[in-house]
Structure 1
Amino acid sequence: MSFQNIKVIAFDADDTLWVNETFFRKAEEEFCELLEQFLPKEEANKLLFDVEMKNLPLYGYGIKPFTLSLIEAAITISNGEMNIGLVEKLIEKGKQMLQEPIELIDGIDKTLNELSKKYRLVMATKGDLLDQERKLMKSGLEKYFHHIEIVSDKTEMHYRKLVKHLDITEKEFLMVGNSLKSDVLPVLNIGAHAFHIPFHTTWAHEMVHEEVNHPNFRSFTKASELLQVL
């Protein structure tokens, strides 16, 4: 496979540039422990996920929408009987998540540094604008990116708009990310290239149980492996 036509490489942010999903899984565990007096942990976790999915079209992605879903799920689980102290704990958990230190994915700094010498690099992610901007600034990676794209979701339409904005063709665009659903499949569907670097934890909403077989697709175990083919 030849990648000589690629001019722009876009990177997902959460769990591609820095650790993110781990904080959500920890918060879910703590939530289930707090509500265990009302409902078994496994059932509480499922109900929370259902609330998140219901709220997704209204709130979008990110820690703040997640916090609102925590509170709503807690009200439902407890039949409105939880005390105000529990609400305060859930709000504090959301604030804590927003202030977590940035932990870069192993090898990503060196990889971006090398690739930025040959390609235009873009950060293309979904989620809360303020939170993603905060994480990017704290990460120290901002200097590598020619353009920052923070959208409500990642669909074929969003990727087509990004390619057009960058003034390139689909064949000149490569997306790198940890989610097959958001970073790979819609990109391949528009005729661009997509590289997958899995993260050890994946949100259930982002899971795709299928094998990707496409000439424009490659899978890697870590970011530094990109330098072997680009």
Structure 2
Amino acid sequence: MTKHKWTIAFDADDTLWHNERGFRMTQDRFAELLADYTDGAHLQGRLLAAERRNLAVYGFGIKGFVLSMVETAIEVTDGAVPTDVIAELLGMGRSMLSDPVELLVGARAAIETLKPNAEIILITKGDLLDQERKLAQSGLGDLFDAVEIVSDKTADIYTRIFARHDTAHQMMVGNSLRSDVIPAIEAGAWGVHVPHDLTWEYEHAEAPLTHRHFRQISALSDLPALITDLSGGR
């Protein structure tokens, strides 16, 4: 069997399929429900603060997001939030957990183009059941040589995952500088940033523009050409 030169790992949410827009729509409705108690900007700031401090307890994903909304609603109303508002927040969470999966343009084609000459893996973080559901609905599952669903993305986690794949070069591709690019580079891999119009504030970070293993592309359709360029230049 031919040994591949590259292991190429993809993030899932907002790299291969849409995700953040569901959160944004829910947050907009959240602001409408609590408009009598506080303005939207203040509410979103309080919600982000709640999400940040709850990550260590609830982890990433929709369930932690909903619980943080409930917590924020109680806080900003001094406990006066109506029960029907809480019920609607819980209902929105259930709806998000059953939202259909819509692939980003070029996602399947990029993977199919690269697969014959690379090990292709998925590295995604968040709620296990929800990530498994989205992967199954995406129709991409059979294209991956391995799937890793992790609680967080750190340099140590990338090091352990890539160590299981015996290739000369490793790469992580994703929309998050904080989770996909920077820790992958710290682990010795290439980090390829594919910006998305909607990226959660938590995932923002300064791009490591001067690092030799950092690249940015405008769309996944540009990835095969990047791999060809990097392979030819080494």
Cα deviation code 1:85-131 (max 9, x no counterpart)? 11110000001111111110101111111111111100001101100
In 1, the alpha carbon distance for the partners of 2:97 and 2:41 equals: 25
Q: Does 1:119 align with 2:118?
A: yes
In angstroms, what is the RMSD of aligned CA positions? 1.3
After superposition, residues 165-180 of structure 1 pair within 5 angstroms as 165-168=164-167, 172-180=169-177
Report how far residue 165 of structure 1 moved: 2.4
Moved over 6 A (4+): none
Cα deviation code 1:38-74 (max 9, x no counterpart)? 1111111111111111111111100011011111111
Tell me the equivalent position of 2:142.
143
In 2, the alpha carbon distance for the partners of 1:13 and 1:116 equals: 16
Tell me the equivalent position of 2:72.
73
Tell me the equivalent position of 2:215.
218
Amino acid at match of 2:75: T
Amino acid at match of 2:174: G
In 2, the alpha carbon distance for the partners of 1:22 and 1:200 equals: 9
Q: Contact conserved, 2:177 with 2:205, CA < 8 A, in 1?
A: yes
After superposition, residues 145-164 of structure 1 pair within 5 angstroms as 145-164=144-163
Q: Does 1:48 align with 2:37?
A: no
In 1, the alpha carbon distance for the partners of 2:126 and 2:104 equals: 19
Cα deviation code 1:167-216 (max 9, x no counterpart)? 44xx5211110111111111111221111111011111111134522222
Q: Contact conserved, 2:16 with 2:104, CA < 8 A, in 1?
A: yes
In 2, the alpha carbon distance for the partners of 1:162 and 1:26 equals: 34
Unaligned runs of 5+ in 1: none
Identity %: 40
Tell me the equivalent position of 1:35.
34
Tell me the equivalent position of 1:185.
182
Tell me the equivalent position of 1:209.
206
Change (3 A) 1:147 1:181: same
Tell me the equivalent position of 1:24.
23
Report how far residue 7 of structure 1 moved: 2.1
In 1, the alpha carbon distance for the partners of 2:173 and 2:48 equals: 27
Q: Contact conserved, 1:6 with 1:174, CA < 8 A, in 2?
A: no
The TM-score with structure 1 as length reference comes to 0.94
In 2, the alpha carbon distance for the partners of 1:167 and 1:67 equals: 40
The number of residues matched between the two structures is 224
Q: Contact conserved, 1:178 with 1:198, CA < 8 A, in 2?
A: yes
In 1, the alpha carbon distance for the partners of 2:206 and 2:226 equals: 26
Q: Contact conserved, 1:21 with 1:203, CA < 8 A, in 2?
A: yes
After superposition, residues 90-109 of structure 1 pair within 5 angstroms as 90-109=89-108
- Per the alignment, in what secondary structure is the counterpart of residue 71 of structure 1? helix
Amino acid at match of 2:127: D
- Per the alignment, in what secondary structure is the counterpart of residue 182 of structure 1? helix
